[in-house]
């Protein structure tokens, strides 16, 4: 009964490095989301995928790319990491898109960029 | 596009009932109202969702007046473990925003 699994849990990068954050859900949900949360703030949507094969920008997409690999997996890539991207990243999934469906969240990836 | 407004913080004591109100004046006809709870170092957790009137589950109650321009999350007899940030969300896939939430602190 894993729900939403995110890897890695922690990562430290140097400015300019690239990396991919992985997310997988086992609830057969259609929609998946990537958020970032900065200290003391709420979550901000980076990208979402309403269904397999589609992706759309959220509130703060600059500097990120995503891939909906299949129904289970949704990855977030930082091509050239910047210190401003230091944050906690959460992946979530829901049966269908929008806030009318409850979202299930992973435990987050804590990313520090030096 | 619906925007929500919540108090930034609230304090309570163990055993008390806590009511957190969220205003959403521009809620659309087909929008539901959803509340999440977030503990430090964890992702948000779904608490309750409603469309109108009252919804109750094992964790909380949600009161929604007829005009749906606000909603109130009610937590009965809180304990120290209810200390968390509570988020109220309304909207659709084109307006997906978590606000700063309400930071509830339960004191002994």
Of A43, A44, A97, the CB nearest to B93: A97
Instruction: Enter the DSSP assignment of B5.
Output: B
- Tokens 């909906």 — which residue? A68
Dihedral of the alpha carbons of A98, A100, A106, A109, in degrees to the nearest 10: 40
pLDDT (tens, 9 = 90+) of chain A, 114 residues, equals: 679 999 999 999 999 999 999 999 999 999 999 999 998 788 899 999 999 999 999 989 999 999 999 999 999 999 999 999 999 999 999 998 766 788 999 999 999 999
Provide the terminal-to-terminal Cα distance of chain B, rounded to the nearest Å: 40
- Tokens 């991207």 — which residue? A85
Name every chain A residue with its beta carbon within 8 A of the beta carbon of B43.
4, 90, 92, 105-108
Instruction: Enter the DSSP assignment of A95.
Output: S
**Interchain proximity B98–A44, CB inside 8 Å:** yes
**Interchain proximity A100–B32, CB inside 8 Å:** yes
Q: Could you give the CA distance from residue B101 to residue A16 in angstroms, rounded to a whole number?
A: 33
Provide the terminal-to-terminal Cα distance of chain A, rounded to the nearest Å: 35
How confident is residue B60, by pLDDT bands cut at 50, 70 and 90? very high
Q: Could you give the CA distance from residue B29 to residue B22 in angstroms, rounded to a whole number?
A: 17
């Amino acid at each position: 009964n894993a729900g939403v699994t995110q890897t890695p849990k922690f990562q430290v990068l140097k400015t300019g490095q690239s990396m991919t954050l992985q997310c997988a859900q086992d609830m057969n949900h259609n929609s998946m989301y990537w958020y970032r949360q900065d200290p003391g703030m709420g979550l901000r949507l980076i990208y979402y995928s309403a269904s397999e094969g589609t992706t759309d920008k959220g509130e703060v997409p600059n500097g990120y790319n995503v891939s909906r690999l299949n129904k289970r997996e949704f990855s977030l890539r930082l091509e050239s990491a910047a210190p401003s991207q230091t944050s906690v990243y959460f992946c979530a999934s829901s049966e269908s898109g929008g806030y009318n469906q409850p979202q299930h969240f992973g435990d987050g990836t804590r990313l520090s960029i030096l | 596009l619906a925007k929500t407004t919540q108090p930034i913080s609230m304090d309570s004591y163990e055993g008390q009932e806590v009511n957190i109100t969220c205003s959403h004046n521009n809620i659309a006809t087909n929008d539901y109202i959803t509340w999440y709870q977030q503990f430090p170092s964890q992702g948000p957790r779904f608490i309750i969702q409603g469309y109108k009137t009252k919804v109750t589950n094992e964790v909380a109650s949600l009161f929604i007046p007829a005009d749906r321009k606000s909603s109130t999350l009610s937590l009965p007899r809180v304990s120290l473990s209810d200390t968390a940030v509570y988020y109220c969300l309304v909207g659709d896939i084109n307006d997906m925003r978590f606000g700063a939430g309400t930071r509830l602190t339960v004191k002994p």
